[in-house]
Structure 1
Amino acid sequence: MYIKPAVSALTLLMLTALGGCGGGGGTTVAGGTTVASPQGVYQGTFSNGGSHNTLILENNQFYTIYGSTVAGAFSVEGFLQGNGNASGGNFTASDVKDATAAGQLLTGTLSASYTASNNLTGTLTEGSNTVNFTGTPLLASVYDYNAAANLSDIAGTWNTTSLRGFASTFTIAASGAFTATSGACAFNGSFKPRSSGKNVFDVTMTFGPAPCVLPGQTLAGIGIDFMLNNGKRQLLIAGLDASRTSSAGFFGTR
């Protein structure tokens, strides 16, 4: 997410149709109050009028995919990724990366608090710009974070758009292995259900030589699929390389 100055409107939205709730164990804070783990999917608003959804995994790594809803599906404009720390109801990350549609990787920090009812409140800062946000869990009836990811839901062909705006086609085997093309660029990789049993795929993708934008590079990240209100499924993919200096994202419906 590029945090625009206060005079500009921010549109930040991840996985608009998704729902879910935090899961996992808890921790005891002062006074004996048990605070649930922050993991799960949150939807909420930013202080400058934007909206968001944030996925926090069981290892406190998080992704926020932002953009807008077009014809009932989610159109991605970028994503945030960070490695957080959760303790006593506080969630912080000092290494936030913001992958934009222009190919930039901006840096930032996040500081938040979470409660036993899985409310999330905090601030996101990039440079001199800061926005406040709140978030609440979404309904498991739409996207059940605590269910295991199912490869049969994504097997087959997906026509997607890359974060940089290029048409891309994924062909995913029943095993989760995939081949993909984007114009004259060919790449491949795999989707694997997350070992935690949560409803998230671990994704790796390796790009071929030029004219691929990231020739020869291997990226890793997440994939999530979910049902839209119109009965179609949507697939969202976000990844970074090991040094977190290159990024790629894809989204599509079928």
Structure 2
Amino acid sequence: MKKIHVASIVLAFSLSACGGSSSSTSTSATPNNPQSTATAEGFWSGTTNTGRSISGLVLDDGTTWFIYTSATNNQLIAGAIEGNGVSNNGSFTSTNSVDFNLEGAGVRTATVSASYTPKQTLTGTVSYPSAGNLTFTSTYDASYETTPNLALLVGNYSGVSAVKAGTEAGVASVDANGNFQSTGTSGCKSSGTISPHKKGNVYNLTLQYGPSPCATPGGTVTGVVFYQATTSQLFGLAINATRDNGLIFLGKKI
């Protein structure tokens, strides 16, 4: 893998539809389990005070997964934020978030404080111990309320992934049982499983890296997968158990 100097993963689909836009959900339009009307749960998409685009989700258990773009180019992914938060009467707080930054800042701890109107808006601040604050505003994406369809993901993908050590192009595949296989240009092989999350239009991901030349031989990461049917693109976010390394993956079906 090559060392990351700048944000190097091209964001080829609209951040406003990271989970599949409302117009694309006809391919998986079965009503999902009723979503909470009192929490910050859902897909969210918006912008930061520094001109970045930000998009991601809050799961039913309060787990958060967000991606953000470069401040100078909204077609480049600059990092991802993962954490666990609590919704309470219009206030959402995560005190254990981790920012996996691809612009040279590395892995940073963060606190997220936000206010929300269920299924409408989520507005808040990401605070870093030694790097100031980042504010954001976002709106709800109703595609979260459709049922995930594993059959849509089946196929082969060409894409790029990033871990702390760098980025790498490669190919991946998903079969009808949700088995995931990937091979990078370095020869690094990984395998895992994808399965529909119990609630929301999102999938669970567990991935294990093979031996060297993988940057983290034998390591395991867990996270989530989004799929956008209109562009046939798969996007994955995952983190390891110690939360000091993660994975960002973007692939297009071939």
Aligned pair count reads 220
Partner of 1:214: 216
| Identical-residue share of aligned pairs (%) | 30
1:178 to partner: Cα distance: 1.7
1:117 to partner: Cα distance: 5.2
Larger RCO: 1 or 2 (CA < 8 Å, sep 6+): 2
Q: Flag the 1:206–1:103 CA change in 2: closer, same or farther, 3 A.
A: farther
> Are 1:25 and 2:24 counterparts?
no
1:100 to partner: Cα distance: 2.3
Letter in 1 for 2:248: G
Matched ranges for 1:234-253 at <5 A: 234-253=233-252
Letter in 1 for 2:217: P
1:248 to partner: Cα distance: 1.1
Letter in 2 for 1:194: H
> Are 1:115 and 2:114 counterparts?
no
Q: Flag the 1:246–1:14 CA change in 2: closer, same or farther, 3 A.
A: farther
User: Aligned to 1:191, which of 178, 190, 194?
Assistant: 194
Q: Which structure 2 residue ranges, 5 or more long, are not aligned?
A: 1-10, 23-33
Matches of 1:45 and 1:77, distance apart in 2: 13
Matches of 1:67 and 1:48, distance apart in 2: 10
Partner of 1:8: none
Matches of 2:170 and 2:44, distance apart in 1: 29
> Are 1:203 and 2:205 counterparts?
yes
Letter in 1 for 2:98: K
Structure 1 runs of 4+ aligned residues shifted over 4 Å read none
- SS of the aligned residue for 2:233 comes to strand
**Is 2:114–2:123's contact at 8 Å kept on the other side of the alignment?**
yes
Structure with bigger helix share is: 2
Kindly provide the CA deviation profile for residues 28-74 of structure 1, in whole angstroms up to 9, marking residues without a partner as x. xxxxxxxx321111122222332212311111111111236xxxx96
Q: Aligned-residue CA RMSD in angstroms?
A: 2.3
**Is 1:14–1:54's contact at 8 Å kept on the other side of the alignment?**
no
Matches of 2:191 and 2:50, distance apart in 1: 39
Matches of 1:117 and 1:58, distance apart in 2: 13
Matched ranges for 1:1-254 at <5 A: 15-18=15-18, 19=21, 24-26=35-37, 36-67=38-69, 75-101=76-102, 104-116=106-118, 118-126=120-128, 127-138=130-141, 140=142, 144-163=143-162, 164-183=166-185, 184-196=187-199, 198-228=200-230, 232-254=231-253
**Is 1:186–1:208's contact at 8 Å kept on the other side of the alignment?**
yes
- SS of the aligned residue for 2:151 comes to helix
Matches of 1:186 and 1:253, distance apart in 2: 18
- SS of the aligned residue for 1:166 comes to strand
- SS of the aligned residue for 2:147 comes to coil
Kindly provide the CA deviation profile for residues 8-46 of structure 1, in whole angstroms up to 9, marking residues without a partner as x. xxxx998343347xx7234xxxxxxxxx32111112222
- SS of the aligned residue for 1:78 comes to strand
Matches of 1:14 and 1:243, distance apart in 2: 31
Matches of 1:250 and 1:103, distance apart in 2: 19
TM-score when normalising by structure 1: 0.79
Letter in 1 for 2:86: N
1:233 to partner: Cα distance: 1.5
- SS of the aligned residue for 1:216 comes to coil
1:135 to partner: Cα distance: 1.2
